[in-house]
Amino acid sequence: MSETPQLPSVGREWHLVSRPVGWPKPADFALVEAEVRQPGPGEVLVRNAYVSVDPYMRGRMSAAKSYVAPFELGKTMQGGAVGEVIASNAEGIEAGDHVLHFLGWREYAVVDAKQAVKVDPEAAPLSTYLGVLGMTGLTAYAGLLRTASFKEGDSVFVSGAAGAVGSQVGQIARLKGASRVIGSAGSDEKVKLLVEEYGFDAAFNYKSGPVSRQLREAAPDGVDVYFDNVGGDHLEAAIGSLNRDGRIAVCGMISVYNDTEPAPGPRNLARLIQTRGRIQGFLVGDNYDLQPEFVQEVGAWVRSGELKYAETVVEGIENNVEAFFGVLRGDNIGKMIVKL
């Protein structure tokens, strides 16, 4: 049990003040000052060092019922964060420890110690616990290996492949013995990164032509696994190139997150009958039992340099919203993180 006598009196935090219609705009958010209180029994006070912004947060800004509760208007938003404990009123966590928790979008957070996970900044940079060794990494691992039932020799197509999840999916597939790994991304720079840095066998810029045509050219023998981060024309293209007994894992559909009307579904779903294909959605929260083996296997690849990762770091909590907009635009290479 420990307590730091001189604690900050106020900290800045982001509130959602109106629910976005279509693309979010700066006026939907407000940066406010809030009192920083002492941790109560079983709580710790954390000075956040890094906070995460992720595509799924767009869904929480709407009132529509989903797999997670919407952000409350006028209240602090939430998201992954990692930081230093500056006061503790809980057994097992001391001031000076570093923890991962889910009260991001703020400078200081009073966290229930049961909801905080101690992390070691000596074993890996703190920021990696929000990305390659965190929720996004586990998303890639579980989605590819469990949901898509990847097996050695599979041909794998990944959309949003230069993002935090997609770049890891492609590399895990390669390290696990994929016969071919193909990625799509939104710029020539990202395409070059996928092939030269991450070891993808082929990649294409989806803005350069029809996705279906570019995928057929990159994967002339079809694909066995499609990891979907985008939806829309990418999903339709993947169904069109799916091999017999192909599997599609639906992680996200960023192409439709800001639509104000329902997006049309793929026009070629009937092809799944011919290919005996399978589409399955998944949530990382259903796969936390894989966490120990994920950290062991992927952590070893990161330490050895076999699995590479990128981070796009934005400085300052005042730029949190702009960083989030950047994720929706696809500005980031790898994990988008805000350094406080």
- The pLDDT, as a whole number, for residue 24 is 96
Position 5 scores a pLDDT of 53
Determine the pLDDT at residue 3: 47
pLDDT in tens, 15-42: 999 999 999 999 999 999 999 999 999 9
CA distance 192 to 188: 6
CA atoms of 44 and 238, how far apart (whole Å): 46
> What's the whole-number mean pLDDT along residues 194-200?
97
Give tens-digit pLDDT for 80-113.
Answer: 999 999 999 999 999 999 999 999 999 999 999 9
**Can you give the pTM of this predicted structure?**
0.84
pLDDT of residue 260: 66
Output the CA torsion sign for 100, 105, 109, 115: negative
What percent of the chain clears pLDDT 70, i.e. is strictly above it?
Answer: 98
Higher pLDDT, 317 or 66: 317
Element (H, E) at 327: helix 320-329
pLDDT of residue 4: 42
Percentage of the chain lying above the pLDDT 90 cut: 83
Q: In the Cβ-directed half-sphere of 308, how many Cα atoms lie within 13 Å?
A: 11
The whole-angstrom separation of Cα 22 and Cα 322 is 16
Give bridge partners of residue 92 from the DSSP assignment. Answer: none
Residue 285, SS3? helix
The pLDDT of residue 302 is above 60 = yes
Q: 100: which strand partners? A: 82, 117
For residues 294-310, give the mean pLDDT: 92
Confidence band (pLDDT; 50, 70, 90) for 2? very low
Band of residue 1 on the pLDDT scale cut at 50, 70, 90: very low
Neighbours of 3 (CB within 10 A): 13
Q: Give dist(CA 247, CA 227) in Å, integer.
A: 9
The pLDDT tens digits of the residues spanning 240-294 come to: 999 999 999 999 887 776 766 777 779 999 999 999 999 999 999 899 999 889 9
